[in-house]
């Protein structure tokens, strides 16, 4: 992982604590091709956890209703298709048809109040631009 690659994608305060939001990112593959990269970010206090928005069971997005990622108790990520439930901190499936499998983690850090993806080249180079929070973050604020 190239830790020199750091992209601010959202502000920490755009996501209320104990909530999850989805972002539609685009990363650059090794051949230079742009690849749609939907992710989900969970905020828990000062901590953030990121995963690819892709259920290990059938490979679909977890949120069958937009930005509905959490189980009814709000303590696990849940896939809306068959109800698999995933631990927030590890992405491991604790209950459901893919029990024992895991979501694919997305490496995140919080720098100066921004949530940043580390080690993945995104298609839009944010270094030279003013940071704009993605629309999905604004909608949840
Ligand atoms: S597709 Fe997610 S639980 Fe089946």
Q: What is the CATH number of the domain that holds 126?
A: 2.102.10.10
Segment 127-134 mean pLDDT = 42
107 neighbors 49 (Cβ within 8 angstroms): no
Token pair for residue 23? 């972002």
- Give the structural domain span for 21: 6-140
* In-domain check, residue 80: yes
* In-domain check, residue 24: yes
Q: Does position 136 have pLDDT exceeding 70, yes or no?
A: no
**Ligand 1 neighbourhood includes 96 CB (under 6 angstroms):** yes
**Looking at the 3D structure of the chain, how many domains does it have?**
1
Q: Which of 81, 58, 61 is nearest to 20 (CA)?
A: 61
Segment 71-81 mean pLDDT = 96
Segment 108-128 mean pLDDT = 85
pLDDT per residue over 50-72, tens digit each? 999 999 999 999 998 999 999 99
Ligand 1 centroid, distance to 84 Cα (angstroms): 6
* In-domain check, residue 1: no
**Ligand 1 neighbourhood includes 66 CB (under 6 angstroms):** no
Minimum-distance ligand 1 atom for the alpha carbon of 84: 3
Which of 3-7, 120-124, 130-134 is least confident?
130-134
* In-domain check, residue 119: yes
Q: Which of 11, 20, 58 is nearest to 39 (CA)?
A: 20
Protein residue with least CA distance to atom 3, ligand 1: 82
pTM (2 d.p.): 0.87
pLDDT interval class at 125 (50, 70, 90): low
**Predicted local confidence at residue 140, as pLDDT:** 44
Distances, alpha carbon 115 to alpha carbons 71, 98, 111, in Å: 23, 29, 7
């Amino acid at each position: 992982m190239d830790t020199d690659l750091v992209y601010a994608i959202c502000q920490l305060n755009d996501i209320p604590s104990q909530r999850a939001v989805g972002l539609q990112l685009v990363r650059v593959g090794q051949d230079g091709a742009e690849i749609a990269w939907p992710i989900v970010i969970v905020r828990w206090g000062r901590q953030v956890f990121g995963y690819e928005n892709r259920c290990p069971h059938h490979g679909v997005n977890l949120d069958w209703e937009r930005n509905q990622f959490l189980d009814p108790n709000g303590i696990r990520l849940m896939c809306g298709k068959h109800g698999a439930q995933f631990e927030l901190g590890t992405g491991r499936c604790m209950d459901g048809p893919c029990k024992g499998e895991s979501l694919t983690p997305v490496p995140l850090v919080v720098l100066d109040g921004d949530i940043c993806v580390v080690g993945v080249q995104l298609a839009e180079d944010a270094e030279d631009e003013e940071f704009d929070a993605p629309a999905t973050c604004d909608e949840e604020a």
